[in-house]
Amino acid sequence: MASHRKPRSRTAGPRTAPVVGITTAALTSIALLSQSATAAPSAPPKPSLEEVQKKVDALYHQAGVATEKYNAAKERTTKQQKRVGDLLDDVAQRTEKLNKARQELGTFAAAQYRTGAVSDTATLLLADDAQDYFDQDQLMSRLTSRQKKAVDDYQTEQAATTKKRTEAAKSLETLTTSQATLRSTKRDVQQKLGDARELLSKLTAEEKARLAAIEKQKQEAARKKAEELARQQAEAEAKRKAAEKARQKENPDTGSGSGTGTGTGSGSTGSGYAAKAAKVIDFAESQMGKPYVWGATGPDSYDCSGLTQAAWKAAGISLPRTTWDQVKVGTTVTTANAQPGDLVFFYDDISHVGIYIGDGKMIHAPKPGANVRVESIYYMPIHSVVRPA
């Protein structure tokens, strides 16, 4: 009997070869793509030294701003701590007076109890609302003059003590806020300085040397601008003296004038300011070489506004703590008319200050890692010049 099964086809074999070829190519492509996907991403390009310099300068500047915020917060905290302490002392004293007044009322209540009389005073002490009870004419008509005085004293001390306790509670809340701000700004300063140190630590010795060369070029450019200012001031002073001499020759009776002759192009401040300025500069020069430390006010280290505050204190003038407050004290003058002792403020945000010593130079506490030193006032962008006294 013949088989009805269909014969197996032999044409499928030749078509399998291309399939194998396509699969191999696909697998190869997948492998290559997999290798590309797992390969480490290329590292970002290393910043140039100029970029590092700008970044470090920016971080130091930001740290300077944060330092002034810290100084302001610290000053507020110190004042608030004193106020809270004074208020708490006052509350303690008033509480003592209140207790004495209460004891005197208690003495009257005890006496009424011993005599068998109705103890209105005792009722007063036990009342939930003393004021309502005081308003009752019946009680006041029964009290002797001494008792009335005791009641009045008790009322007065109770009201005053309650008021002072409320003030103390509010001051404590303000103090807590100031302390939180102080901690926050401290962390901000430390973060900025840490970032700057990390950037510098990644430089090689050769890069650090090149960075120092860039810094030297910056200082040299600032020095030349200071020399130009000194030349202009000297010319202006020479013209002022010549004009003064001509006036004296024409009018011998007018006297010798009030100019100080400091080589700054302005002789209008008088000898009083010059004497104070000399003390300021003497003090500042004696601090040369001491390190910059943010938040420091001396005597072993300073930040910028700490140095200016201490220097003018040596001349008998009390300046505020921060640059933002110091810039408001005194008279603003032009850079061309700057005189020794004047304060030179820098940056649009007024975050740095130095003491002008003449010839376009200043003494200042520059930044972390640097000491108090003489520098051109053109080392940083000038905001304004202020004459404190």
Nearest partner of 323 among 302, 304, 296, 295, judged by Cα = 304
CA distances in angstroms from 316 to 184, 276, 309, 332, 353, listed in the order given: 34, 8, 11, 20, 19
Residue 12 has pLDDT above 70, yes or no: no
What pLDDT score was predicted for residue 387?
97
Residue 195 has pLDDT above 50, yes or no: yes
Q: Active-site residue among 4, 61, 352, 383?
A: 352
- For the chain, the farthest-separated pair of C-alpha atoms sits apart, in whole angstroms, at 158
383 is annotated as an active-site residue: no
- Give dist(CA 237, CA 235) in Å, integer: 5
Alpha-carbon 309 to chain mean position: 14
Could you read off the pLDDT of 22-70 as tens digits, one per residue?
Answer: 454 444 454 444 554 455 556 667 778 788 888 888 998 998 998 999 9
Q: Active-site residue among 4, 61, 364, 383?
A: 364
- Give dist(CA 144, CA 120) in Å, integer: 12
352 is annotated as an active-site residue: yes
Strands (E), 8-107: none
For residue 383, give every residue at least 6 positions away whose Cβ sits within 8 Å of its Cβ, in sequence order, or none. 327, 345, 346, 347, 348, 350
The pTM of the whole model exceeds 0.75:
no
304 is annotated as an active-site residue: yes
> What percentage of the chain carries pLDDT values higher than 90?
38
Please tell me what DSSP assigns to residue 337. G
Q: Active-site residue among 4, 61, 304, 383?
A: 304
Alpha-carbon 37 to chain mean position: 49
Q: Where is pLDDT greater, at 73 or 141? A: 73
What pLDDT score was predicted for residue 19?
46
Query: How many C-alpha atoms does 90 have within 13 Å on its Cβ side?
Result: 17
For residue 75, count CB atoms less than 10 angstroms from its CB and return exposed for 0-12, middle for 13-18, buried for 19 or more: middle
What pLDDT score was predicted for residue 282?
98
Residue in the structure block whose two tokens are 């005189």 = 339
Residue 88 has pLDDT above 60, yes or no: yes
Report residue 197 as tokens. Answer: 């140190």
Whether residue 273 contacts residue 339, with contact meaning beta carbons closer than 8 Å, is answered with yes
Report residue 30 as tokens. Answer: 């997948």
Could you read off the pLDDT of 68-83 as tens digits, one per residue?
Answer: 999 988 888 888 888 8
